[in-house]
Amino acid sequence: MSEHAHARGQLPARHAALVLADGSVFEGELIGADLPATGFASGEVVFNTVMSGYQEVITDPSYAGQIVTFTYPHIGNYGTNELDRESARPFCRGVIVREMARRPSNHRSESSLDQMLYRFGICGIAGVDTRRLTRILRDTGAMPGAFGTASEAELLAAARAEPGTDGIDLVASVSTDQRYTVAAARDARQRRIVAFDFGIKSTMLRQLSALGTLEVVPAATTAAAVLELAPDGVFLSNGPGDPAMVGYAVDTIRELLGQVPIFGICLGHQLLCRALGGETFKLPFGHHGGNHPVRHEATGRVEITSQNHNFCVDPASLQGVVDVTHRNLNDNTNEGIRVIDAPAFGVQYHPEAGPGPHDSRYLFGAFAELMDAH
């Protein structure tokens, strides 16, 4: 079956159901790729509140192991294109939407969202009451689920057998296998930056290349191998899953602290804090969206931020080691730290935000200043 023939609207509806681990059932119809031979797809179900950027969300490696629910009711209206992908392929387990646009309309569109999902082997379910689903996840927390054409009993069993993202190293499944170079942008200074790929996004690479040449390295790269590259700075990327399960990266970061300036985003921020002796914990339903208010503690300025994480740093475990620089105004959780005795800082949210608010882009300039000062 060709991608063109698979375009939604040219095939009869494939009725399916979504079942959560608590027994909640939702009806819908399949979209995207064909189901596995089991007749279902399973994963940890989370919700994202963005109104645009669905392609970037789906191709963000941080969603490995998860099924993404879009709370905005109409998804796919402007299609997809090659430039807006955040990684070579999606790593999420599936997509849940209220309504999939049948005719994408945008001058940049190269294919429909349904065609993109089919191309990369990602299945999904549309026609779901995503408002009811989101309320359940909000009240009870992210939970495993399964969707497909299998019986409700089989879907419930699959949902309850799904381990979720706790206690699993998902970084190993998304990181690059070998080092590669990203050339500096035309007007960039001659800095050399080593970027750890824990699930790095293309938008991050574009922002960092404006600061200098990037050497992107696998997640398991040692501190000695990094220092051999004589970097002006080290960047710790976003990524999926439980930071407590990426101990090899924590050990490496601990060795690098104090030797080279470090900047961490999202999972990179969490790993930096764990390298300092901090603790992390899982949020009830995580932060997934493009409009989270974050206060910059030094200035009182409120930034509107893009976020995608399930785990969070406990700042009380780092008293006397870091200064808290940013705080989430929705739930008062930690959103940023600066290390007191080393040139290193991190933020929990996404200042690159492609697409999304640009309020926090100044942090890349702060990283450049930190590198130049050391």
Structure tokens at 174: 């998304």
Q: From CA 50, how far away is CA 282, in angstroms rounded? A: 21
At which of 108, 140, 161 does a domain end?
Answer: 161
Instruction: Mark whether 338 and 204 lie in a shared domain.
Output: yes
What would the DSSP string read from start to end of 197-247?
ESS--HHHHHHHHTTSEEEEEETT--HHHHHHT--SEEEE----S-GGG-H
Q: What is the pLDDT of residues 178-200, one digit of tens each?
A: 999 999 999 889 999 999 999 99
Q: Are residues 351 and 306 in the same domain?
A: yes
Q: Are residues 229 and 338 in the same domain?
A: yes
166 part of a folded domain: no
Residue 85, helix vs strand vs coil:
coil
- The tens digit of pLDDT for each residue in 136-187 reads 999 999 999 999 999 999 999 999 999 989 999 999 999 999 999 999 999 8
Domain limit, last residue, from 161, 185, 213:
161
Residue 230 has pLDDT above 50, yes or no: yes
Q: Are strands 40-48 and 66-70 parallel, antiparallel or unpaired?
A: parallel
Task: Tell me which H or E stretch contains 346.
Answer: strand 344-347
pLDDT for the residue numbered 13 = 75
How distant, in Å, are the alpha carbons of 47, 52, 189, 232, 370 from that of 211? 33, 28, 6, 11, 12
Q: Considering the domain boundaries, does residue 190 fall inside one?
A: yes
Whether residue 222 is found in the same domain as residue 362: yes
| pLDDT of the residue at 300 | 98
Domain span at residue 125 reads: 3-161
134 and 109, same structural domain? yes
Q: Which of 367, 9, 12 is nearest to 193 (CA)?
A: 367
189 and 297 co-located in one domain: yes
Give 104-130 pLDDT, tens digit per residue.
999 999 999 999 999 999 999 999 999
User: Which DSSP helix (H) or strand (E) runs through 301?
Assistant: none
What does the pLDDT look like over 231-271, one tens digit per residue? 999 999 999 999 999 999 999 999 999 999 999 999 999 99
Tokens representing 253? 């970061």
In this structure, which long-range contacts are made by residues 332-339, counting pairs with CB atoms below 8 Å and at least 24 apart in sequence?
Answer: 333/283, 333/287, 335/294, 335/305, 336/269, 336/294, 337/269, 337/272, 337/273, 337/313, 339/257, 339/272, 339/276
- Percent of the chain scored above 90 by pLDDT? 94
Query: How confident is the model at residue 355, as a pLDDT?
Result: 87
Mean predicted confidence (pLDDT) in 49-78: 97
Q: What SS3 state is found at 332?
A: coil
Residues 229 and 154 in one domain: no
pLDDT at 354: 87
Which of 129, 161, 193 is the endpoint of a domain? Answer: 161
- Same domain assignment for residues 26 and 68: yes
pLDDT in tens, 304-350: 999 999 999 999 999 999 999 999 999 999 999 999 999 999 999 99
Q: What is the mean pLDDT of residues 70-74?
A: 97
Stretch 4-20: mean pLDDT: 70
**147 shares a domain with 14:** yes
Do 121 and 205 reside in the same domain of the chain? no
Catalytic site residue 266? Answer: yes
Options 266, 273, 312, 335, the catalytic residue: 266
Q: pLDDT band at 4, cuts 50/70/90?
A: very low
First to last CA, the chain: 57
Between CA 144 and CA 156 the distance in angstroms is 10
24: Cβ contacts below 8 Å, ≥ 6 apart:
133, 136
10: pLDDT strictly greater than 70:
no
Read off the tokens for 368: 């450049």
Residue 171 and residue 195 in contact, taking contact as beta carbons nearer than 8 Å: no
Catalytic residue among 44, 86, 162, 352: 352
Confidence of residue 11 (pLDDT cuts 50, 70, 90): low
How many folded domains does the chain comprise? Answer: 2
Give the whole-number percent of the chain exceeding pLDDT 70.
Answer: 97
Q: Answer yes or no: do 144 and 175 share one domain.
A: no
Give the model confidence (pLDDT) of 86-109 as tens digits.
999 999 999 999 999 989 999 999
User: Out of 6, 269, 309, 350, which one is annotated catalytic?
Assistant: 350
Per residue in 19-28, pLDDT tens?
Answer: 999 999 999 9
For residue 143, is it within any domain?
A: yes
- Mean pLDDT value across residues 12-23: 92
- Residue 234 and residue 260 share a domain: yes
